[in-house]
Amino acid sequence: MAQNFDDVQKLGKDGMDNAVKTMTALTKGYQAIAAEMVDYSKKAFEDGSSTMEKIAAVKSLDKAIEVQSDYVKASYEAAVARATKIGELYQDLMKEVFKPYEGLVGKIVPVK
């Protein structure tokens, strides 16, 4: 009886440890993703403002179209790069979240 109680107690402690590790990984991961999003938003706003100032300063329509085209191209490339980076952050987050449970799967599912 005491052995069963110890096993249950150990199982509960292991579960709590895994939950804490998971929540820690989630918190750190979401903080990194949020920081990346804030940085991207700030940069996009600055680039947009700078482009508007450049367009306001030009003397010809052709130059204004050129400035806008350069801005659109740079914005697209930046958006794709950030989307890739954020995708990688989510991928890393999921790896960290499930890391505490990797050994548990082997205990639950018998390997044949």
> For residue 67, is it within any domain?
yes
> For residue 106, is it within any domain?
no
> Could you tell me if 100 and 17 are in contact, meaning their C-beta atoms sit under 8 angstroms apart?
yes
> For residue 112, is it within any domain?
no
With tokens 């980076």, the residue in question is: 85
Least confident of 83-87, 88-92, 94-98: 94-98
pTM of the model: 0.73
C-alpha 76: how far from chain center: 19
pLDDT at 19 over 60: yes
> Could you tell me if 77 and 57 are in contact, meaning their C-beta atoms sit under 8 angstroms apart?
no
In which domain, by residue range, is 25 found? 2-100
The rounded distance, in Å, linking the Cα atoms of 50 and 95 is 39
> For residue 31, is it within any domain?
yes
pLDDT at 107 over 70: no
> For residue 109, is it within any domain?
no
> For residue 76, is it within any domain?
yes
In which band, very low, low, confident or very high, does the pLDDT at 5 lie, cut at 50, 70 and 90? low
Q: How many domains does the chain have?
A: 1
> For residue 108, is it within any domain?
no
> For residue 55, is it within any domain?
yes
